[in-house]
Amino acid sequence: MPSTATPSNDRSRRAAVNRRRASVTIATSIDFTPSVPPVILTARTPPMFSDYSWYYEIPTTTAALLMVAAFVGFYWVGAVIVRPILRMFVRRAPGLNDLIGYILSCFCVFYGLLLGLIAVTAYQNVESAEQNVTREAAALSALYEDVSRYPEPHGQNLRWLIRDYTRYVIKYAWPLQQQGIIPEEGTIRAEALFDRLLDFQPSTPGEEILHAEALRQINHFLECRRLRLHSVKAGLPRAMWIVMFVGAFFNILLCWMFDTRFLTQLVLGGILAAYLGMMMYLIVDMNQPFRGEVSVSPEAFELLYKRMLED
């Protein structure tokens, strides 16, 4: 069949483009002076109030101090402003101070239990994410070993793809996960690996066994990968956060109602508020397994990639 590709096929389009270019050149001669790049996708200023992601970029110590300071500060400000109003009710009813003390004790037990359970849940989330990451890296490592026994060039092609995936996870996926973003391009690499593995047609019984094992490993790897991606957005539900913060507020409210000397109020209430702040910090920090300084690291993938490069 003769080809119909001719320069003239494009002639009218090119002529139109030439005409447009001519006009563009004239138009842009005014603003040709190098200017600010046109596309700026991320600004320096973090959106402090619309998004709390900036919190996870704060160094651990600063974040802990900030949370404690917020709780203690709130308590102290309330002690100065709200406490005199609340104390009036307490003083009018003799014996109410003892009752408040009793209620505060009960409340602290229930609230402490709640916080403890939530902290354990958050910790388990982190641990589970860490286990998924380790399992994913282990499955990848086993797969790498399996395909290294494939005849060439299949083995080499598959090794390249596994290395490519591992490198992507370390260099590109992890920073995105740390921002709470689910990385997308890893899926392309995983698909490419799966496709390439399926391309291989075993020709001996030994290759058949090896191929079956490689397929089992890749399925396990894909499962762990899906779990890792799922944990990127994992976190406590909004209702739980509301219960926690409302509980903390009631705790502080009861302390404000307690009728003691002012300085005692500041010191004892401050200690309680500081501890509440510490607990909140702990839960917030562990809430998202891949975010913050204390989070799941890509170490398992880094060790694997280092070994792959040494091969």
Partner 1 sequence: MPVPTANLPLPRGALSRRAALRSGVAATLAASRVLAPSLFVGCSLGIPPRAPTVRIGLLHSQTGPLAIGSTSLRDVELDAVERFNAAGGILGYAIDPRAPDTRSRTELFPKRATTLLDDGAVALFGCWSSGSRKAVLPLLEERDRLLFYPVQYEGNETSRNVIYGGQVPNQQVLPALDWLRSGPGGERKKFFLLGSDYVYPRTTNFIVRKWLAGTDAGIVGEEYFSLDTKDFAPVVTRIRESGADCILNTVNGAGNIALCAALAEAGIDPAKVPLVSTSISEDDLRSMPAAHVAGHWVLSSYFQTVDTPANAAWMAGFRGEFGQDRVFGDSMEAAWCLINLWKAAVEEAGSFATEAVRQVFAKGIGFDGPGGRMTIDPATQHATKYFRLGRVRPDRLCDVVVSSDGPLAPDPYPQVAFPGWKCDWTKGGLEPGPEVAIDG
Query: Where does this chain bind partner 1 (CB under 8 A)?
Result: 1-8, 10-11, 14-15, 17-18, 20-22, 24-25, 28, 32, 34-44, 46, 48, 54, 57-59, 62, 66, 76, 80, 94, 152-153, 156-157, 159-161, 163-164, 167, 171, 185, 188-189, 191-192, 195-196, 262-263, 266, 308-309, 311
Q: How far is the CB of 109 from partner 1 (least distance, A)?
A: 27
SS3 311: coil
| Residue 304 · residue 142 · CB < 8 Å | no
Closest CA relative to residue 53, chosen from 296, 232, 299 = 232
For the bound state, the minimum distance from the C-beta of residue 128 to partner 1, rounded and expressed in Å, comes to: 28
Asked if residue 266 lies in contact with residue 92, where contact means CB atoms within 8 angstroms, the answer is no
Q: Which is nearer to partner 1, 130 or 146 (CB)?
A: 146
CA distance linking residue 291 with residue 278, whole number of Å: 18
Q: Which two tokens stand for residue 143?
A: 């797969």
Give the residue carrying structure tokens 């380790």.
Answer: 134
- Give the whole-angstrom CA distance, residue 121 versus residue 177: 20
Closest CB 308 distance from partner 1, rounded Å:
7
For residue 49, the minimal CB distance to partner 1 (Å) is 11
Residue with Cβ nearer partner 1 (66 or 119): 66
Task: Give min distance, CB of 154 to partner 1, in A.
Answer: 9
In whole angstroms, how close is the CB of 25 to partner 1 at the nearest point? 8
Q: Is 223 exposed, middle or buried (0-12, 13-18, 19+ CB in 10 A)?
A: middle
> Tokens at residue 254, please?
């009861």
Rounded Cα–Cα distance for residues 53 and 48 (Å) = 8
Measured from the CB atom, the residue of 25 and 297 that comes closer to partner 1 is 25
Report yes or no: 48 and 54 within 8 Å, Cβ to Cβ: yes
Q: Which amino acid is at 9?
A: N
Write down the least CB distance from residue 311 to partner 1, Å: 8
- The reply to whether omega before 153 is within 30° of 0 (cis) is yes
Q: Which is nearer to partner 1, 153 or 237 (CB)?
A: 153
- Smallest distance from partner 1 to CB 110, Å: 29
Q: Which is nearer to partner 1, 12 or 238 (CB)?
A: 12
Residues 6+ apart with CB under 8 A from 290: 129, 174, 177, 178, 180, 231, 232, 296
Rank residues 124 and 149 by Cβ distance to partner 1 and give the closer one: 149
Is the CB of 209 or the CB of 303 nearer to partner 1? 303
**Closest to partner 1 by CB, 132 or 265:** 265
